[in-house]
Amino acid sequence: MKAGDTSDYRPPRDNLWFARTRNYTIFVLRELTSVFVAWAIVYLLMLIGAVLGGSLPEFAALAAGPWMVAVNVVTLAATAYHSVTFLNLAPKATVVRLDGYRLPGWMIQGGNHSLWLVISAVIAFFVLRGFR
């Protein structure tokens, strides 16, 4: 290798680059929660398939297993974290203008969180009403 030739140079890899800074760690954890969001979708599709296919008792037995309950509790926490961080980032990605006036970020964020709370309350009302 000649002096000044860097074509063969390979910088060392740092597989824990995200753990060096708090902001990067939070970013990577948020991105990893997407796996749990995907699991929640698969689980919901399995439930719909069981209801439509007539195999709801088998699905209920699977869902009652301790490992499945544990996975779904972690999934609930991860998807809640994913949702909150997603809604918190919305003002940075969305610019809303009313008569030339730019809405402040807290209004966009507050509106998103309020709508999420209202929709969750409506869903909870119908789901919990069905258990009476």
Average pLDDT across the chain, whole number: 89
For the four alpha carbons of 76, 78, 83 and 84, in that order, the dihedral sign comes to positive
Tell me the pLDDT tens digit for each residue of 25-54: 988 999 999 999 999 999 999 999 999 999
Which fold would CATH assign to domain 17-129? 3 helical TM bundles of succinate and fumarate reductases (1.20.1300)
| The two three-digit tokens of residue 70, written as one number | 């544990």
The pLDDT value recorded for residue 8 is: 75
* Domain spans, the chain: 17-129
Radius of gyration of the chain measured on its C-alpha atoms: 23
Sorting pLDDT into bands at 50, 70 and 90, what band is 3? low
Tell me the pLDDT tens digit for each residue of 68-83: 999 999 999 999 999 9
| The two three-digit tokens of residue 71, written as one number | 């996975």
Nearest to 17 by CA among 28, 32, 2, 6: 28
